[in-house]
Structure 1
Amino acid sequence: MDPRLAALTDAPFTYAEVGATRSGELPAGVHVARRRAVVGRGDDAFDRAVAAVFDWAPQRNAGLRVRASGPASEPGAVVLMTAGLPPLGLRIPCRVVWSQTSGDRQGYAYGTLPGHPESGEESFVVSRDGADVVFEMVAFSRLATRAARLGGPVSRVLQAVALTRYTGAVRRAARG
């Protein structure tokens, strides 16, 4: 395993509410971002959307470089994403908190690790609503680094852009 990923395997999460995106009981006093979109129709679209989500496709297609210790379907998998040009790129370390790999609602959430500009959790879920395939993201966060706090509104705009790109990636995957 990549030593950078191995070093994050036992790193503590940077927030106390680990798993909150699964329970739906989000903490008070945090920024919450939600996106929900129909991305396709039918069984094949559902299967393709789920496969894309578990293979880190939303993050890759949003322009992030992704190094992961395993698929997003494995709780405990570490992912180190990088935005921007190396070696000055922004490091975004996370670890999978929970995953649901069967049924009509599948997905996962990852939580932030030390060095992430935010502190919180983000979930990526594909579900069925009749014949429609729905992709939903829920994120809660606090700005964690000095740079993120200084860039407050810009940080939130960048998060919104990422959520839009994630949705586009899953929509393209669902359509084949």
Structure 2
Amino acid sequence: MPASGRPGRDPTYPEVGASLRACLDGSPLPSGYRHLHIREELGRGDRVFEVAATRLFSWQMHRAAGIAVPDATPSAAPGVEVLLGFGIGPVRATAGCRVLEVVDDEGRRGFTYGTLPGHPECGEETFLVEHAGDGRVTGTVIAFSRPARWYTRLAGPVGHLLQRRIARRYLDALRR
């Protein structure tokens, strides 16, 4: 039986944890996937850091970026599963992910989630908020993914452009 205790509910890729390692120590992202790495300054000070971390862990960042997250979803923690919803008008899709790892160090907070069976993509994404000694607060989104469904394969490079756009919206949402 898979480590999750539920048959067929393990992440859909073998390189679990690679995006967090890339984010923390610069390890390379796995080959065979599209890569995304966006880092932006969010502001300065303790309050900016605390607000950004709260928005991240409470799924407010996702909601503000236009991704539907059920209200009953617990805060991000290892093992928490989230059903993300997205689309335009009647064309809607859902995507299941599981939080795999959490970073909660002094000056650094974030988490990694990975795709579960049925997700339109295959891969993982790490979100990190960092508070540097000079007061700067930065947000990072780093991911590797590839299409897992016929419609995401059909979308081709448009899918990657959408992922990049959503990642920028995530970081914008941490600034508000």
Paired with 1:150 and 1:103, the residues of 2 have a C-alpha distance of: 43
Structure 1 residues 108, 9: CA separation in 2 closer, same or farther (over 3 Å shift)?
A: farther
Which of 111, 116, 120 matches 2:114? Answer: 111
* Equivalent residue, structure 2, for 1:3: none
Identity percentage of aligned residues: 41
* Equivalent residue, structure 1, for 2:14: 16
* Secondary structure of 1:70's aligned partner: coil
Paired with 2:161 and 2:152, the residues of 1 have a C-alpha distance of: 12
The answer to whether the 8 A contact 1:75-1:98 is kept is: yes
**The 10-residue stretch of structure 1 (141-150 or 86-95) with the greater mean CA deviation from structure 2:** 86-95
* Equivalent residue, structure 2, for 1:63: 66
- Give the partner amino acid of 1:105: R
Which of 157, 171, 174 matches 1:167? Answer: 171
* TM-score normalised according to structure 2 size: 0.87
Q: Quote the offset at 1:101 in angstroms.
A: 2.1
**Which runs of no fewer than 5 residues in structure 1 stay unpaired?**
1-7
The answer to whether the 8 A contact 2:95-2:118 is kept is: yes
Residue-by-residue CA offset, 1:108-160 (whole Å, 9 max, x unaligned)? 01000111111000011000122100000101011111110011111111111
Q: CA RMSD in A?
A: 1.8
* Equivalent residue, structure 1, for 2:33: 30
User: Does residue 139 of structure 1 match 2:172?
Assistant: no
* TM-score normalised according to structure 1 size: 0.87
Residue-by-residue CA offset, 1:73-121 (whole Å, 9 max, x unaligned)? x100000011126875111110001001231111001000111111000
**Which runs of no fewer than 5 residues in structure 2 stay unpaired?**
1-5
Paired with 1:106 and 1:15, the residues of 2 have a C-alpha distance of: 24
- Give the partner amino acid of 1:34: H
The answer to whether the 8 A contact 2:35-2:145 is kept is: yes
Runs of 4+ displaced beyond 6 Å: none
Q: What aligned pairs does 1:113-128 form with structure 2 within 5 A after superposition?
A: 113-128=116-131
Paired with 1:125 and 1:23, the residues of 2 have a C-alpha distance of: 12
- Give the partner amino acid of 2:109: Q
- Give the partner amino acid of 1:156: H
Paired with 1:128 and 1:12, the residues of 2 have a C-alpha distance of: 33
